[in-house]
Structure 1
Amino acid sequence: MFLYKVDNNLQLKLLSYEDAPAVFAMTEESRQYLREWLPWLDAITKEEDTKAYIRSSLYGYAEGRQMNTLILYQGRPAGVAGFNQIDAGNRTVYIGYWLHQPFQGLGIMTKAVRGLTDYAISELGMNRVEISAAVKNQKSRSVAEKAGYSYEGTRRQSEWLYDHFVDHAVYGILAEEWKINKAES
């Protein structure tokens, strides 16, 4: 099983069926908070829906198309982060993430994104890592910026969010940039 230690307080663990109760509970408890920026919440109404998501994620992992992890902070489930898509042909991964509301403001997601970025480049041999977030989602954009990503532009009407389209800010980092940033820190 995949388990990546980011630091003494933070680990990324491949999602598994045993995580369904915790992931669903976090979703339920943060539903209103998360709904502002995540379009999938109406499709997750019971624990079985979370299990179906995990099942799909595990198939994607087995096929090398994605990798979704449970964020563990001090041993407690804190959110989900991972590669929503792995494009092996172009050596690019696309990171997505969400954090349970009580864990906001602790720098957890920035560290998780740095860990995922390092794994993608150092272990998977990726050349590019990309994050996109709604233009007005300042918290998510801040994570990308603090992790060392460069703003590359805006994709107009990129995502349907319940009753309207939102533009996405696109951030990226290249392997050569990551290695320089890592050496300097």
Structure 2
Amino acid sequence: MNPLLLDIPLQMNTERLILRAPLQSGDEEIVFKAIKDSFNELKAWLSLFQEIPTLEETHILLKNAHINFLKRESFRFLIFKKDGSKDFIGTASLHGIDWNIPKCEIGYWVNTKFSGNGYMMEAVKELVDFGLNHLALKRMEIRCESKNLKSRFIPEKLGFTFEGTLRNDDLSADGSKLTDTCIYSRIS
């Protein structure tokens, strides 16, 4: 089946969270504020956030995420608390999709003020269930820098298999040194 014909929900719900595609007016302001509030943590691990993006750059980032969602190239979801507060938790995505296998990689970042509450674990678990059961993916990966213990905790807690460490595999987020990449996977 052509991936463009897949019925992909624009919103998914967990016990405490709403995961939805970034397409509503005002999303860029919410995400922009979270990036600013979480900048020190994001800068340490993500090359995308070596400088705080402008509101316009954030808007473009979300528009591109929506375009890629529609093209079935990646599925980025904004994560909100379901308790009525609508607090923005962070983002989680299925990206690097190879429909021939089919497989993907999972990526995520959390708004610092909500870190440590298990929200990202809950969101990633939902994406894993969605990928394996709804999309019938055969392989899902989480890759992260070996020193990023918070990111590594999620696949370890969700029962992913640790496949190994690629030594000197990537540059640090700031581009100053080589880093090791840990690879975790779930297969169907």
**What is the TM-score of this pair, normalised by structure 1?**
0.89
Cross-structure match for 1:13: 20
Cross-structure match for 2:183: 170
SS in 1 for 2:159: coil
Deviation, structure 1 residue 44: 4.5
Cross-structure match for 1:181: none
2:73 is aligned with 1:65: yes
Q: 1:75-130 deviations in whole A, cap 9, x for unaligned?
A: 21110101122211111011000001111111111111110000011111111110
Asked if 1 retains the 8 angstrom alpha-carbon contact of 2:76 and 2:94, the reply is yes
| Stretches of 4+ aligned residues off by more than 6 angstroms | none
Deviation, structure 1 residue 158: 3.0
Deviation, structure 1 residue 43: 5.4
Cross-structure match for 1:135: 146
CA distance in 1, matches of 2:128, 2:75: 12
Asked if 1 retains the 8 angstrom alpha-carbon contact of 2:146 and 2:181, the reply is yes
Cross-structure match for 1:178: none
Asked if 2 retains the 8 angstrom alpha-carbon contact of 1:17 and 1:51, the reply is no
RMSD of equivalent CA atoms: 1.4
Code of the residue aligned with 1:110 in structure 2: it is M
Deviation, structure 1 residue 165: 2.4
Matches within 5 A, 1:20-169: 20-42=28-50, 44-73=52-81, 74=83, 75-160=86-171, 161-162=173-174, 163-169=176-182
CA distance in 2, matches of 1:122, 1:43: 37
Asked if 1 retains the 8 angstrom alpha-carbon contact of 2:78 and 2:88, the reply is yes
* Percent pairwise identity: 28
Asked if 1 retains the 8 angstrom alpha-carbon contact of 2:43 and 2:51, the reply is no
CA distance in 2, matches of 1:96, 1:46: 22
| Unaligned segments of structure 1, at least 5 residues | 176-185
Greater shift in the superposed pair: 155-164 or 139-148: 155-164
Asked if 2 retains the 8 angstrom alpha-carbon contact of 1:3 and 1:13, the reply is yes
Q: Which structure dedicates a bigger proportion of its chain to helix? A: 1
Asked if 1 retains the 8 angstrom alpha-carbon contact of 2:39 and 2:52, the reply is no
- Count of aligned positions: 174
Asked if 2 retains the 8 angstrom alpha-carbon contact of 1:44 and 1:50, the reply is no
Greater shift in the superposed pair: 41-50 or 16-25: 41-50
